[in-house]
Chains A and B, each alone.
Chain A
Amino acid sequence: MKNTRKMFPFLLLLTFVVCPGNAWAVQSHAAPEGLYVHQLAHIFYAASMCYLFWGVRQTAFKSRGWRFLQIFCVFMVMWNVVAFTGHSLVHYIHHSDFIREAGYLSTHLQGPLTGVKFWYYFTQLDHLFSIPSFFFLYLAMKNLYRSSCEDVKI
C-alpha cells in the first residue's frame, strides 16, 4: 500500500509525459475580476473582524482597551458593509446621473433621486464609519498601553 502511494506521483508524471495535450498554464483575467476580488476581500475582511470580535469576547479580556477593540471591529464590519454596497451600487449608477457645471467639485448627483442614488450617496460617506473605527482602535491601544503601565507599577 505504501509503495503504491509512493509510486503515484511517478505514475501521474508518466501519464502526462505519455499523453501530452494543451497545457493552458496561464489564465487570462477579465476586467470585472479585480472588482470581484476586492469585494471578496471586503467580505473576508468583515468576516475576520467578526472573528476577531468573537475571539476577544471568548478570551474574556474585560479591560476597557479590549472593549474599544471590539467596538473597532463592529465599526470595521459596518464600514466593510458600506464599502461593499458602495462598490456594488456603481453598476446601478451611470455617468449620466452626474452633472458637472464648473469642474469636479461642482459635481451633483442629479434626480430623480431614487433609493439606490441615496444609498450610493451614503456609501460615498464611508468615513462616517472608518473614522470612528480608527478612533476606537486608537483608544483601545492607548488604554491597553496605560493598563500595562499600571500593571507594571503594581
Chain B
Amino acid sequence: MTSLPMLPAILMDMAGSVVIIVLSFLSLRYAWLLIRKQPENFLWGFLFYFCLTLVCFSVSRAVGHLLKQILLILGNKEQWQVLAPFSGGFNTLLMVSLAAVSVYYHKGIEGYHAIQRKASSLKNANCKLEISANKLQQLNADLEKMVEIRTQKLSASEKKFRNFFTNSKDMVYFCDSSNRLVNMNSAGLEMLGYPMEEDQKLTLHNIFCNEEDLENYLETIVAVGFVEDLEVEFLRADRTVIYVLLSATAVFDKNRVFTGCEGIAKDLTRVRTMMEQLASSEKMASVGQMAAGVAHEINTPLGVILGYSQLMMDDFTPESEEGQSLVVIERQAKACRKIVADLLKFSRQAESARENILVNEVLTDVLAVTEHSLNMDHINVHRDFSKDEPTIIGDTEKLRQVFVNFINNAHHAMEEQGGGDLFISSHYEKESNRVVTTIRDTGHGIPEDVVAKIFDPFFTTKSVGKGTGLGLSVSYGIIQEHGGIIEVESPARGKDGKMQGTAFHVKLPAISVEQVSVNENKSDTK
C-alpha cells in the first residue's frame, strides 16, 4: 500500500455529521419530555441544558464539517478558508460551554440532594404532622363521642334519680348545714300536709315533733355520718303527728366540714296503728278465751246455787229472815249469771241468729226505746240515715244490745255536763262494702291514756256499782262475731269541724247481691 484514500474519511465525516445531528436532537427531545414531566427535577433540567448545548455543538460542528466537505468537493477552498475560523471558533466556544455545563453537574447534584433531603425531611415532617393531625382529629372525634356518651349517661342517671326523687312514695329531702330543707319531694310535702311550692322555707325544727329527737338526730348524723331506721314523730302542717322511720346520711365537703344531710322518711303511722290494732285484737282474743273458760267454770256452780236457793225458798216464807236471805241470794246469783252470759257473749260463745237485717231498722228500734230518757236529760238526737242502705247478716238482738251500749255510754258522758247532742248516722261505704254506723256525742270524750283500754273486760271509768265494765267488751265481741270492726275517734271531728266528744264507727259487712238472692231462695223454700 503506497497511499490511503481519503474518500472513506470524507464520506464518514459527512454521514457522521448528519447522524450526530439526528441523535442529538432525539436526545434533546427526551430531555424536553423529562422536564415537561417533572419540571421541578434539577437532574432533568441539567440534562436538558446539557443536551441543548450538545445540539448546538453538534449542529455547529456537523454543519461546519458538511460545509467544509461540500465546499471542498465543489472546489471552493477559498470560501472554506474564510468560513473555517468561524466554524472552529463556534466549536471551541460550544465545547467550553459544554464543559462549563458539565462542571456544574456535581455542585448542582449536591444542591439537588440538599434540597431533596430538605424536601424529604419536610415531607417526613408533614407526614408526621398529618399523622399527628389525624390522631388529634381521631382523639377529638373520640372525645366528642365520649363526651356525648357520658352526657347521655349523665342525663339518664339524672333522669333516673330525678324520677326516683319525684315518684318516691316516701319522703326524700335534702337539707343544708343550718337544717333548712332545701329540697323535698312531693310525697314528703304531701306527707307533711304542705302545699307543693318550691320555696317552703321549712326547717327540721318545723317538722320534728320532739326537740329531743331532733337533737339526737343531729348529734348522731354529725358524729357517725348517718342515722338508720330512726323512729321519730313528725308534725304535720295541721299540727297532727305522724310516725316515720327515718334514715339519713350526712354530706361533708372536701375539708370534712358538715354541709348538710339527705334523708328518706317512711310514714309508719298506718303501720303503727295496724300494729296497735293487731296487738289489741290479740289481747282481746286471749282475754275472751280466758273469760269463756271462767264463765263456763262459774256457770255450773252458779246454776247449782240458784237452783238450791230457789228450792229452799219453798221451805221458807218470804217474810221470814231466811226467806229474805234466799231472795238476796237468788238476785245476786242471777246478776252473776248475767255477767257470765255477757262474758260468753264477749267471747262469742253464745249462740247467734243469722238473718237479713237493715241496720237503720235496728237503730230506729233502739232509739224508740232510749230517745225518751235521752230527751229527759236534754240530749238531742240527730238522725242521718241513708235511704238505699244494703242489708247485713246478723243477730238483731245482739246488734240492738251493741247500739244500746253505745247510746248509754253517750248518755252518761253528756248527762254529767247537763245535756248535749247525739248524732246517729249510717251510710254505705262502697269501697269496703260495709255499712257504717256512727254514734257521736258531744260529751267530755275519752282520755288518751284510756282509749286503748275501753274494750277490755271489766274496765270502766264509772263508779262502783254503776257499771260492770262489760258493755263495750260485749259490743266488741258481737261486732267481731258479725265480721265487723269498731273504730273510736276521740275527740271526734264534727260536721262543723269542731273537735269534741267521742264517735264510735261500727262497720259491718254488707250482704252481697249473690248472698241476697241465696237467702231469698232459702226463705222461699222454708
Contacts and interface: CB of A to CB of B under 8 A. Distances in A.
Interface of A: 34, 37-38, 41-42, 44-45, 47-49, 51-52, 54-56, 58-59, 98-99, 103-113, 117-118, 121, 124-125, 127-128, 130-131, 134-135, 137-138, 140-142, 144-145, 148-149, 152
A134 B20 contact: yes
Q: Interface residues of B: mostly helix, strand, loop or mixed? A: helix
B473 interface: no
B4 A117 contact: yes
- Residue from B1, B29, B30, B58 having most chain A Cβ neighbours under 10 A: B30
Contact of B7 (A34, A54, A106, A131): A106
A121 B3 CA distance: 11
B195 interface: no
Given A48-B103, A131-B20, A134-B24, A145 B34 contact: yes
Interface of B: 1-10, 12-13, 15-17, 19-20, 23-24, 26-27, 29-31, 33-34, 37-38, 44, 47, 51, 54, 58, 72-73, 75, 85, 88-89, 91-93, 95-96, 98-103, 105-106, 109, 113
Contacts of B24: 134, 137
Given A109-B4, A137-B23, A141-B27, A121 B98 contact: no
Nearest to A140: B27
B67 to A, nearest CB: 13
Nearest to B106: A55
B95 A44 contact: yes
Q: Interface residues of A: mostly helix, strand, loop or mixed? A: helix
5 contacts: A105-B73, A108-B3, A125-B12, A134-B20, A142-B26
A118 B3 CA distance: 10
A44 B9 CA distance: 26
A138 B55 CA distance: 12
A104 B9 contact: no
B106 A125 contact: no
B74 to A, nearest CB: 8
Contacts of A52: 102, 105
Contacts of A141: 26-27, 29-31, 34, 47, 51
Contacts of A130: 16, 20
B92 A37 contact: yes
A43 to B, nearest CB: 9
Given A51-B105, A99-B3, A138 B27 contact: yes
A148 B37 contact: yes
